[in-house]
Structure 1
């Protein structure tokens, strides 16, 4: 078969891709993975008993909303990176800005605190487990998003995997916030960010191999 005939045959079978296909598949991945993350938190760790009371504390909302913003920004990023030729532009700022803000808040709180209270604000009670708990709770969303990406067409696999990691990390940290007893800004700035960085790094490494055409 000649090259021109092969091209014509392939073109004849070409079908238009549905609009918003990437966003729909990734939204489906979230719809599958997020309830599993919530179930993991509930059955493995448990919702904190004073949750209703903490709803009136501003730092609880910081702890909840900062990773939730990262998750939303990660979704925007990954659905763009899942399509060839789509520019990311300034979408990375959606991931970076919440982290920078919580770092600034953590540093300010640490500097203003009495010297004898600073160590407790950094280490808290759960620093040994926080990082891995966040990564573990993020795992269902992480796996589902990579499966969805595999069925799409990312041309920058490492970046797409990192974006999927950011989305899952933000979701996992937001879910974990419903259990976590820590509220100090320095703790969040260090250990929450480290916990969220693990899926991002894993996504970049796995995506480089798994998502290559």
Structure 2
């Protein structure tokens, strides 16, 4: 939306809202970003060879549900922050609830584990690069989210960019589950979350420039 268009819209009356974006204009960039994320994961990392066996374990589905819940909360934040005047008071609760749930699961797991094995649950085998891979995989989805938001009328550009990065990072974490060999809730609640927060920081940095009218 251009500045002149926004001024004209606001001057026409107090009850005039931002025009709804066509569904296709939203879905196509999102699908393209998701497809690019999956292709990037397959090209760089590949699917874990024991995925069928891992999918039979509750720990695998815990990290899938964790990433999916954060992605849903992130895209809800993107939708609300893309339009001025929409209530956002509950967004912190939506974003924090999955994190709190997985941290409670991680605390229970640590409580049940002998002290000498607890460090392994936290560090795993891939902590050095897991967050950065999630952030890397998030870039196509971040570009799609910023493209969609730019066509609307976000006013808090840095916060909107952070929301786009969070949603993209959580979506990338969900795709990354197909490759990641880690199964511990302690690992997922720490290093997956860090990767998502790195993507959020990238979005926050890009937001003011990418979303400026």
TM-score (norm 2): 0.87
User: What displacement does 1:55 show?
Assistant: 1.4
Q: Deviations over 1:141-176 (max 9, x none)?
A: 011111222222101111111111111011000000
Partner in structure 2 of residue 207 of structure 1:
207
Partner in structure 2 of residue 3 of structure 1:
none
TM-score (norm 1): 0.87
Higher helix share: 1
Partner in structure 2 of residue 178 of structure 1:
178
Q: How many residues align?
A: 203
Structure 1 contact 77–92 (Cα < 8 Å) conserved: no
* 2:112 paired with 1:136: no
- Rounded to whole Å, the distance in 1 between the matches of 2:151 and 2:23 is 12
- Stretch of structure 1 that moved more, 84-93 or 20-29: 20-29
Partner in structure 2 of residue 89 of structure 1:
89
Q: Deviations over 1:71-94 (max 9, x none)?
A: 111111111111111111313322
RMSD: 2.3
User: What displacement does 1:17 show?
Assistant: 7.5
- Rounded to whole Å, the distance in 2 between the matches of 1:23 and 1:105 is 37
Partner in structure 1 of residue 4 of structure 2:
none
SS in 2 for 1:89: coil
Q: Which runs of 5+ in 1 are unaligned?
A: 1-6
Q: Which runs of 5+ in 2 are unaligned?
A: 1-6
